[in-house]
Structure formats: structure tokens, C-alpha cells
Amino acid sequence: MQESLVKLTDVTFNYGNSSVLKDITLTVKPGEFWALIGPNGSGKSTLIKILLGLLKPNKGSVELFEEPISSVSHKERVGYVSQKSNSFNRGFPATVLEVVRSGLTKKTGLFKRFSKADTEAALNALMEVDMREFADRNIGELSGGQQQRVFIARALAAKPELLIMDEPTVGVDQQNSASFYSMLEKLNRDNGIAIILVSHEIDLVTDLASHVACLNRTMHFHGGRRDFAKLNDNDLSRWYGHSVRLVHQKEGDPSND
Amino acid sequence: MIDALFTYEFLQNAFFSGLIIGVIAPMLGLFIVVRRLALIADALSHVSLAGIAGSLYLSQQVLFFAGLNPIYLGMAAAVGGSLLIERLRRVYRNFEELAIPIILSAGIGFGAIFISLAKGFGSDLVGYLFGSVSAVSRQDLLVVSILAVGVFAFIYLFYKELFTLSFDADYSQASGIKGRGIQMFFMVLTALVIGASMRIVGILLVSSLMTLPVAAAIQVAKSFKSAMLLSILFGEISVVTGLFAAYHLDIAPGGTIVVTAIVILLLVLMGKRLAGQSTSKRKGEVL
């Protein structure tokens, strides 16, 4: 059994002379659900890019599946849903199934065509997000919430151990966003997929996640939800640099159960 | 034309080259259009013009070039242009589309200089600009056939990578797909196809054959696969109809091929509109 899926140790990243992340340390274990919160420009998306191996830190080490990130060849073990996913070209002529199956491109490998098993895996991923009956529909015909479920299915198709999502509900209405989050909770609980979710909806995601990381250039807090709930609004306001008020809707902390 | 097709070699060359280009141009064009890079084909065809004009000018000056098929220098120029576009897109990361007008202007600029230096090329140049049924040689047909094998193999082997890159480039990068090499190879193939197609369709119209059948196909296709098949079908209808018309009317095939493609596009748009009206009417009756 792996001890950690992600291990960041003293990670520092600068864009030119400006410091974006400083001495970030974070460990994500199998089955954990992390909410990554912080104000705009706090370095959340940069941290995600570092986790995906798209940016190289100036200092510190990044390990995925207990290996240095540079030597991880099976990137399909990480599913990714980007902030920009639902800003795709809506006129793109593709069915939902074609989009979801594209999540298997890396896993299938170069010079190989998709097999029947790949199509089955894509259909199963659609079933996980309750979108199986939309498989043959054109992706542009779906609502924002449905499209976001399709992008989750694309990330799930390769059966990842870790799902990283960068503000996946941007542009999705409140009702669809709530049902989207409950689907994530189910995926984490029933399938044991570890999740790192970047979001601005602090109340919602901190009530949903088992762990919270609060970032604003440096890591101000990382730990279980129960410990996060003990914080007062002043702490959070200080870290955010403006007034923040938390309204918790849930009790308890599954991470400490 | 059918009888003549069995009799005249030049007609066979034009017809079979046309049939092949009618498949490979829209096939590549689909990936270009869905990535909103339709003008790349225009830029590359204008760079080909510079290559062709350069070759025709040099053929007046240097004996070696007199025996060289100008299509080769046209293809080489297009490949050079495609690599420069890729380079410029990285230089202008936030204004990627700027790469296209820069290369397009360079192509026209060099083309105009070579044409002026040579004091014009008469009917030769007109053939390259608008295509010609009689100018396609056996050698041209061979070049187009070899290119077609390359395009089919490339799309067969990299279909899933090309789809993923076209749909969501950020996701492709994050999932570790080596997109840069594939994109570069795709651009080089596109440039070669543009260079090789100019004999039949003409430099000024070759980009239309890459985009118009695709523009019609994406109006009605639900899936990417069906968009590709429909693009090829519309491309083939345009080429065959255009070549027949050009032969019988004794005019440039580039014009007739492109006008046929435009007629197809208009018919598809009208058909879609009519289908939409009848659907909403049926819905109204139900309500």
C-alpha cells in the first residue's frame, strides 16, 4: 500500500523575480479528499501545474506515487479536470463518447487504435457520472453542468488513483454545482479515488472535503476538516487579505473518524 | 469526358490527382478548422506561390532549375513556412494568430518580387494560381499518391492524439501526450499537401478545398468521425463535379471545384435551416 500519492517538500516557485509559491509542503494519501482554497492569485493553479509536471519548481521536491515526478511515466494515474475545460469550442463536432474516450489516449499508447475494451471503459466512466444515456449526443448540446460531468468521466476513464480539479464549477449554476459536488463525494467514498479540488466556494468545499489546504503564496493551513473548523474567521481573513466569513453546513470530520 | 479520360493521359493525371486531393485535403482540413486555424492553409498556399515563382524565375536564370518541377520548390517553401508559423506561434504566445498574417505577407511579398523580376510568367503562372486540367503530369500524380499514403498512415496512427490535441490542448499537455512533435509533423504534411495540390486546384484556391467541405460537414455531423467522412464526401463531389465542368467549359478547375464546394455549403445550410423550421413547427403542433 502506498503511503502517499503526492508529496511536496519545501516547494518554491518564482515567475521571473516574483515569488509565486514559497516553501510549500503537502502530503496527499490514498482516499483523501483535499480542498485547496485561497484568494485569487494565491498560486493555487501554479501548484496544480507543478503537481501535473507542467511547471518545474525552483526549489524543493515533488513526488507522485512515491517517485520523483520526472520519472513518473504513467501520468494516466492522475485524472485532471482543468478550469478551462468547459470553455471548449462548443461547435466542435464530437460525441460525448468520443470526448470521454480521449481520456484514454495516453494510456492506450502511441501507434495504437482504441479497442472495444477502451470504449467499454469510457461507457463505464460515463455511468459513474450518470451520463451513460448521453454517450451519442453531441458535446455542444449539453448544459454546462452535464459537460462538466463529461469532463470528469474523461478523467475517470483511465481509472486514476488521484483526481485533480482546478475550479471545475466555474460557469455552472448553483443547483448543478451542488449535485456535481455530491457526485465527487460519492466517487471519493465509493471508489476510493483521492481528490484535490481547487475552489473559491470555501464553505461548500471545506464541508465536503476530508482535508483542507489554505494557500496564499505560502501554505497557511493544511490538515483535517475538524481542525479547519476550529479556525475562526479572523485567521482566514488574515490569510486571504480581506474579510472572510465561514458558514459550516456539516458536522464531523470523516478524516478523523 | 469519360471517353476522353480513357484516351488522354493528362486527363487521367488530373482526374486521379483530383480524386486523391479531394480525400486528403478535407481530412487534414478538419483538424485545422476545429482548431480555428483555417487561415494557416491560406498562409501556406501563399508561401508556395513564393516558392513556385522563385523556381520559375530561377529556371530563366540557372539551367539546373529549368529542368526542375517548380512544384518541389513550392512544397519546400510551404514546409519552411509551416515550421516558421509553429516557431512564431511560440514567440507570440499571447497572439498566436499573428503568425499567420506574418507568413502570409512574407509569401505574397517574395512571390511579387520573383514575378516582377521575371517580368511575369504568362499562362504558366495563371495555371499555378487557379489550377489547370492539362498541366498535371504523371510525376505530379506520383507525388500526390505518395503524399496520400503518408497522410493516411499519419491519421490512422495518430488519430486519437490528433483528436485529443484538437479538442483540448491543455488537457493533452497535462495528460502527458507529446503534442509538439505530432503538431509539427501535421503542419509539415499539410504544407506538402498544399504544395502538391496547387497544380490542380491552384495556389489561391487550395485552402478552400481544405476548409469549405469541412465547413459544410460540421454543420450536420454529430461526431468527429462523421465530420471526417462527410468532409471527404463533400470534397470528392466538389473535385469530380469541378473537373467535369472545367473540362467541358475549358476553364480553370480551381474555380469550378471551389464554386461547387460553395454550392454544397449553401445547400447544407439551407437544408439545416429547413429541417430546423420543420422541427420547431412539429414541436408547436405538439404543444
Tell me the domains of chain B and their CATH numbers: 2-209 (1.10.3470.10)
Nearest residue on chain A to B226, judged by CA atoms? A93
User: What CA–CA distance (Å, rounded) separates A196 from A48?
Assistant: 9
User: What CA–CA distance (Å, rounded) separates A236 from A238?
Assistant: 5
Contact B223 A92 (CB under 8 A): no
Reported ipTM: the value is 0.88
Neighbours of B164 (CB within 10 A): 26
Instruction: Tell which of A75, A84, A98, A162 to mutate to test the B interface (max B CBs under 10 Å).
Output: A98
Q: With an 8 Å Cβ cutoff, is B171 touching chain A?
A: yes
Contact B176 A80 (CB under 8 A): no
Chain B residues within an 8 Å CB radius of A52: 174
Backbone angles phi, psi at A41, to 5 degrees: 75, 15
Chain B residues within an 8 Å CB radius of A110: 157-158, 161, 178
Q: Which domains does chain A have, with CATH numbers?
A: 6-86+160-256 (3.40.50.300)
One pLDDT digit (tens) per residue for chain A, 257 residues = 678 999 999 999 998 888 999 999 999 999 999 999 999 889 999 999 999 988 999 999 999 999 999 887 777 889 999 876 666 888 899 999 999 999 999 999 889 999 999 999 999 999 999 999 999 999 999 988 889 899 999 999 999 999 999 888 877 777 778 888 888 999 999 989 999 999 888 887 788 899 999 999 999 999 998 888 888 788 888 888 777 777 665 554 444 44
Identify whether the C-beta of residue A194 lies closer than 8 Å to the C-beta of residue A161: yes
Instruction: Tell which of A100, A105, A162 to mutate to test the B interface (max B CBs under 10 Å).
Output: A105
**Strand ranges (E), B115-176:** none
Q: Which of residues 144-163 of B touch A (CB under 8 A)?
A: 156-161, 163
What element of type H or E holds A15? strand A6-15
Chain A residues within an 8 Å CB radius of B161: 105, 110
Residue closest to A152 by CA, chosen among A166, A137, A171: A166
For CA atoms A52, A53, A57, A59, the dihedral sign is positive
Model pTM score: 0.89
